[in-house]
Structure 1
Amino acid sequence: MISVFQSVTLDGVMQGLGRPDEDTRDGFAHGGWGNGYHDEVSMQVAGEGMSGTAALLFGRRTYDDMLGFWTTTPDPNPFTDVLTNTQKYVVSRSAATELAYPNSTLLAGDAVETVKTLTKELDGDLTVLGSGELVRSLHLAGLVDRYILQIHPIVLGSGTKLFGDGDRVNVILERTIPTTTGVIIAQYSVAH
């Protein structure tokens, strides 16, 4: 099973959640929009999602950014140990990609094909964190089984959205969890 754990705005933007300089591609100037929305509820759900997976799946850019940030953050947090110790698979078009963090395996080549192969070999669930381009590819190929979306009460009006153009996909709401900051965590299974 492949689950996507993603923070989005009400208008579907997933770009630049954490920091102003996180992702400025295409002139995106709203970076850091997710700051101030974390609470105990969202941290608990994030921790549950990360600890209940056999492995994490990343696009190369998100892998470098997310692990680079969380492994250098001096403040105690529940994410550093999970990100460091959990098996990570990193999709990259280049076989020359170097992976800087422990428990990391490169999946070089076409994202859809390498992930299909991995799912046949892996015993357990994969969770994709961030990695918008990878998620869109897996979504279009029908490989995503579940979405856990942290929907933030903000409309940005611009930025890279989680879903691009594509065929209709029906999802089934499994649970919703409101946070104290107005974020709604919605878990959907994909009706394949």
Structure 2
Amino acid sequence: MGTSSSEETSGKLVVGTFLTLDGVMQSPGGADEDRDGGFERGGWSVNYWDETMGEMMNDQFAEADALLLGRKTYEIFAAHWPNVDTADDPVAAKLNGMPKYVASRTLDAVTWNNSTLLSDGVAEAIADLKEEREDVMMVQGSHDLIQTLLAHDLVDEFWLWIFPVVVGDGKRLFGDETIPAALELMSVETSSTGVQMLRYDRAGEIDYGSFALDDVAV
């Protein structure tokens, strides 16, 4: 993430995710969303939602032109959103209608409306999509896919919702293969329940320094 990939491609790839205060993104919406690693604290985001968060969610999805998902998140979304009445839910209407790209080596087909399977060379395929689409692709959930995107320097913005809970263990957003980079805070909103909704853009290389005194006698 040292140099912004938006300088090389005209499309924008946004990672939008819910996080605990200690950086865990695993299973925010329910106990059985993702129990990998014996995770038993799923559903930690559910009781913090308010009207401000709902409005922000609508606004963020309105900005997205396409959705990029890993297999697990795709299966969760595909089991839920097609069954929601789109007349009453603008997010459902947007998700059901928009182009969706699914990165998976195990799925044989994707049946949710307007979905395309990416099964081989995922990083290269997504880099090509950014050039071809020239618009905003949003990643939701999809921990394993995000690790691939971070390792290949493909993320342009982070839309992070940080919930006032700590869970101790679980899948974290930034894994060991994340390329170091500086970020710029573009906006922040706070819900009535203490959720911080942060938006970060790329800001080039980290500007390292030191607080060590120059003339300390040894």
- TM-score of the pair, normalised by structure 2: 0.83
Contact 1:54-1:124 at 8 Å conserved across structures = yes
Counterpart CA distance in 2 for 1:106 and 1:59 is: 10
Once the two structures are superposed, residues 124-177 of structure 1 have per-residue CA deviations (whole angstroms, 9 ceiling, x without a partner) of 111111111111211121110000000000000011111111332211100100
Contact 1:151-1:184 at 8 Å conserved across structures = yes
Please tell me whether Structure 1 or Structure 2 has the larger radius of gyration of its CA atoms.
2
Counterpart CA distance in 1 for 2:125 and 2:161 is: 27
Counterpart CA distance in 2 for 1:74 and 1:144 is: 32
% identical aligned pairs: 35
Counterpart CA distance in 2 for 1:133 and 1:116 is: 17
What residue number does 2:48 align with? Answer: 37
Q: Is 2:152 aligned against 1:120?
A: no
What residue number does 2:109 align with? Answer: 98
Counterpart CA distance in 2 for 1:20 and 1:84 is: 25
Alignment length (residue pairs): 191
What residue number does 1:9 align with? Answer: 20
Partner residue of 2:158 out of 147, 153, 169: 147
* Structure 1 residue 69 displacement after superposition: 2.2
Q: Secondary structure of 1:71's partner? A: helix
After superposition, where does 1:12-91 map in structure 2 within 5 Å? 12-73=23-84, 76-91=88-103
Q: Secondary structure of 2:46's partner? A: coil
* Structure 1 residue 73 displacement after superposition: 4.8
Cα RMSD between the aligned structures? 1.6
Unaligned segments of structure 2, at least 5 residues: 1-11, 205-218
- Further displaced range: 36-45 or 77-86: 77-86
Q: Is 2:119 aligned against 1:108?
A: yes
Once the two structures are superposed, residues 84-135 of structure 1 have per-residue CA deviations (whole angstroms, 9 ceiling, x without a partner) of 11111111125x5211210111112132111011111113111111111111
Unaligned segments of structure 1, at least 5 residues: none
Q: Secondary structure of 1:36's partner? A: helix
Contact 1:67-1:83 at 8 Å conserved across structures = no
Contact 1:54-1:125 at 8 Å conserved across structures = yes
Counterpart CA distance in 1 for 2:169 and 2:48 is: 20
Partner residue of 2:149 out of 125, 138, 151: 138
* Structure 1 residue 190 displacement after superposition: 1.8
Partner residue of 2:185 out of 170, 173, 192: 173
* Structure 1 residue 74 displacement after superposition: 6.9
Contact 2:65-2:137 at 8 Å conserved across structures = yes
**One-letter identity of the residue aligned with 1:146:** E
- TM-score of the pair, normalised by structure 1: 0.93
Counterpart CA distance in 2 for 1:22 and 1:60 is: 12
